[in-house]
Structure 1
Amino acid sequence: MTDIIRHIVDNKRREVEAMARHIVPATAPDRTHRSMSRALSQSPTGIIAEFKRRSPSKGDIHPMAMVSEVIPSYTRAGASACSVLTDTPYFGGALTDLAVARTLTDIPLLRKDFIVSEFQIAEAACHGADAILLIAAALSLDEITRLTDYAHSMDLEVLLELHSAEEMARFYPAVDMVGINNRNLSTFHTDPGLSLTLARMLPDNVVKIAESGLTSIDEVNRLRDVGYRGFLIGETFMRHTDPGRALSDFLNPPPHQSMNN
């Protein structure tokens, strides 16, 4: 685990432990189950459009962004799913963003956060998520196994995020999706080629997702050719005044032109 991830995860564990002592998540309401893995597999684009206001590596990205504006525009532009950051200190998000997003779209929603306990998974179910993110760099294989099984008991799918070949040792076959994050957690440098390199190491029966550093539909198409079905993109869209319009332009670029912002 890198120093920055260790720092973030240690803070998250303290935060969650404090909340769990005083708050009991409400029982998840009856809801329509939306399979994110199936939506990506059946989609011609597989775009997971991300809503985030800031990041630890880039600082403010779109600090005043409103879920009520961005999520509907992502849906209209053709997103297959949406990722909603719910971490407050490092990403400027909140669980209320996820809850509001659920009222605005019928496509699957991913709760993206540093998930370290069952408490957060129960929160995700109560606030309208269809899937959760587990980060291999922040968890042991035993934790990944336990949290995946609990998520499935709550009718949530699991996206397991890997950053290197070494983290394949923490792959749990029961997860629904595996994401390769192209951002190096030590340097924050992004290398879209990492997804191409690790593609052959992933099992054929899991939905593969490429994350971070994707700036053109040409890159997406190359990754689709080697088996990826999901493409999580946030900063490329969120740096624009109208992220939904940025997604539409990404999917339908003018001839011989790609987005490199």
Structure 2
Amino acid sequence: MSFIDTLLAAERPLIMEVKRRDADGGDLLGGRPVGDVVAAYEAAGAPCLSVVTGRWFGGDLDLLREVADLTGRPLLQKDFVTRHDQVPRAARLGASAVLLTAALLPRSSLRSLVAVCLEEGLTPFVEVTTEEEIAAVPDADRCVIAVNNKDIKVRERDQGDVERSLKLLPALARSGTRCPVSASGIDGPPVAARLLDHGYAGLLVATALLRATSPRAWSDDVHALRTTS
């Protein structure tokens, strides 16, 4: 299945992220092989994985290739994709979805990049922070539209504001997307459960899971909080 369909079908719709460094340059792997992180995410029931290839966070294309060799889960390449040639390259390296950051792309560029993704069989994973950016997403029913709770202008060094995700839910519903996602700044299972209960189809979680003792226990806690709320 495609990235979007796999996420929509998941019992525990957590996109778990592989990322080498946090926004301040701190090591998130702690000496662990990437394979150990991927195996822990699979054991935790992650339907999809995100792989940060952006240099801000110590990423590169080799990391995407490595993760693709380790798992059959659909993968999101998380980087600043601004050129058409980056899309087929992502597909060749094993990605099933690519990040398109609406704040960085003129409407015409966003439209053409979404079209290229769909032509290549990839899910456009469009990151937004405002109602205006949501309204600009073409073919929204075929895209993941993800609210970034952090501020890229400060390289995501802020704590994040999940209230942004809650505030933008009506605009996401109007857009026609089948798959609204809340991304970044989700620091614990109670916050995750709250976002899912309010109507998000999926969450992208990175630092909190990489610092957790057990991604499986983290996922179990989210599931328990949802079923008892």
TM-score normalised by structure 2 residue count: 0.86
Q: Percent identity?
A: 30
Q: 1:142-157 alignment to 2 at 5 Å?
A: 142-157=108-123
Contact 2:188 2:208 in 1 (8 A): no
State the shift of 1:230 in Å.
1.0
Equivalence for 1:193: 163
Contact 1:61 1:235 in 2 (8 A): no
Query: 1:58 and 2:58 equivalent?
Result: no
Match of 1:73 among 40, 48, 51: 40
Match of 1:231 among 187, 203, 221: 203
Q: Encode CA deviations 1:81-137: one digit per residue, 9 max, x unaligned.
A: 1000112x3111111111121121121100110001111112101100011110011
By percentage of residues, which structure has more helix? 2
Which amino acid in the other structure matches residue 95 of structure 1? Answer: L
- Whole-Å Cα distance in 2 between the matches of residues 115 and 90 of structure 1? 14
Equivalence for 2:8: 41
Equivalence for 1:246: 214
Cα distance change of structure 1 residues 253 and 107 upon mapping to structure 2, 3 Å threshold: same
Secondary structure at the aligned position of 1:147 is classed as helix
Equivalence for 2:91: 125
Q: Give the alignment's Cα RMSD to 1 decimal.
A: 2.1
Contact 2:40 2:216 in 1 (8 A): no
Equivalence for 1:111: 77
- Whole-Å Cα distance in 2 between the matches of residues 59 and 164 of structure 1? 27
- Whole-Å Cα distance in 2 between the matches of residues 189 and 220 of structure 1? 15
Which amino acid in the other structure matches residue 74 of structure 1? Answer: Y
Cα distance change of structure 1 residues 186 and 124 upon mapping to structure 2, 3 Å threshold: closer
- Whole-Å Cα distance in 1 between the matches of residues 178 and 65 of structure 2? 28
What 5-or-longer segments of structure 1 have no aligned partner?
A: 1-33
Q: 1:14-29 alignment to 2 at 5 Å?
A: none
State the shift of 1:65 in Å.
4.7
Equivalence for 2:100: 134
Secondary structure at the aligned position of 1:38 is classed as helix
Q: 1:156-195 alignment to 2 at 5 Å?
A: 156-174=122-140, 175-186=142-153, 188-195=158-165
State the shift of 1:202 in Å.
0.8
Contact 2:143 2:177 in 1 (8 A): no
Secondary structure at the aligned position of 1:237 is classed as helix
Which amino acid in the other structure matches residue 160 of structure 2? Answer: T
What 5-or-longer segments of structure 2 have no aligned partner?
A: none
TM-score normalised by structure 1 residue count: 0.76
